[in-house]
Amino acid sequence: MAGTLITRLARWVVSCALLLAALGLEAQQFDPYANIPQSQGLEGFPQLGYPSALVNVIIYGAFDDPATAEFWVGAYRGLLPRVQTGEIRLVFVPLISGGIPGGQLAARSAICAGEQGKFWQYAEHLFPLVLGQGAEAYAGDVLDSAARDVGLDLGQYQRCASGNTGFAAILEDAEQSAARDAFFTSTPYVKVNESPSLPDAESLIFAIDVQLEAANADLIAELTTPTPDPEATEEAEPLVLEAVTGQDVPPPITLQLPAGWLSGSDVLVLQDVDAIRNIPFAIYTGPVTGGVGTIVLLWGFPNLVVAPSAVQATLPPEMLDLHIDGTRLLRLAVVEQGCNVGTDLRRTYSIGGLQAAGTQFAAVDCPELPDTRGWFAGLRQYGLNFMFYAYAEPIEAMDTAEVELQAILDTVVFTLPETD
């Protein structure tokens, strides 16, 4: 029940932010896209959302099409809370309808904004203009003004908008994709996991819920299918958690491990509070004074958004609270189910010299595993969430192991390339 309430609150908070953006209020103080990953697919089509999302919503739209603009300010904005919670990922296929002048240049400019991770913010500036000004939507320096408003590097943007950056190939792929689809007629056209859907909000919600139910059922079936025990071997095997996918996903960090420590990585299939999702993890374990120390890293998971006691009109990004995410994932993914788990008050820790939010925890009276205690700390780097759990067994080992574990965490270096 609590998880359902938090999820509804998250969607309500994001919806409020979108309403403020639509009204032009406090636009500089809240960006509803700030904490959602943006990328480009192989065809160059912009993507919005977490790669672990179970449902892809593909939008065939045109920047010179009033019907697409109506869809954008209506049904599309209702999808963002579900992107924020990691349920769905959006893909935009850019087409040209010829409905109003300047559509191709607008699409090219939006793709250029996407090279700087701002396609969706840029589109938020253009579609309301199509509705409000019609044929005059892209008159004057509107496109450059939108680039300034979303904070693009103007030099890079202008070089892209005026040069040959592959836009023609993206547009050709988009046209071919639409031509291959037997159900495509005109923009906006929407598919949910390759199944066509009417573009109104009610139909989209129904189609997404059907696909999520089917995907969750498939994952549950996989999780409940018995697997044979691995054969015994004298060599050290990679460490794994239960219910993993068998993928070797190296973590986007480096760290220095003491002699005798082992490490492994995989993807955890986790029944989260709102959906089943895949979360990559890495585990490091080895000898510490008095016992065995362990560090577990989870990354790429979505936040659960929480509002302050009095919701402010600006809705600051601090609502994304990694301390709360750490507590939720501790119980869902790290400690054994059935343990008596306790946590302390929120405090600040250090990961690789960077400030992180977390707290101490203890897990006792577990069904099979020994009692343990330690701490977790989370931070955000390069648009991804990271959560580190450090603990030792037996529980008394933490009296001396804390310094040793922190020394390892001090060596963490995040290896994802920084983007503009």
Res. 221 pLDDT band, cuts 50 70 90: low
User: Which pLDDT value is given to residue 242?
Assistant: 44
Identify the bridge partners of residue 349 per DSSP, sorted by sequence position: 356
Strand, helix or coil at 22? helix
Q: Give the tens place of pLDDT for each residue, 90-103.
A: 999 999 998 899 99
Half-sphere CA count of 5, side-chain side, radius 13 A: 3
Q: CB–CB of 294/392 below 8 Å?
A: yes
Q: Residue 283 has which token pair? A: 């585990």
DSSP 270-291: EE-SSSEEEEEEEEEEEEETTE
pLDDT-derived band at 1, boundaries 50, 70, 90: very low
The Cα 162–Cα 81 span in angstroms is 35
Q: What are phi and psi of 413, to 5 degrees?
A: -130, 125
Pairwise CA distance, residues 371 & 341, whole Å: 10
Q: Give the pLDDT of residue 294.
A: 93
Give this prediction's pTM: 0.53
Question: How large is the average pLDDT for residues 215-234?
Answer: 52
Which residues are within 8 A (CB) of 63 and not within 5 positions of it... i.e. 6 or more apart?
94, 103, 106, 107, 110, 123, 126, 127, 130
Distance between CA 142 and CA 418 in Å, rounded? 29
Asked if pLDDT for residue 237 goes beyond 50, the answer is no
CA–CA gap between residue 301 and residue 270 (Å, rounded): 11
- Kindly write down the DSSP assignment for every residue of 327-381, as one continuous string: HHHIIIIISPTT-EEEE---EEEEETTEEEEEEEEEEES-SSSPPEEEEEEEEEE
User: Which domains, and CATH codes, for the chain?
Assistant: 31-216 (3.40.30.10), 231-414 (3.40.1000.10)
* 80-84, 146-150, 220-224: which is most confident: 146-150
Q: Which two tokens stand for residue 274?
A: 């709102």
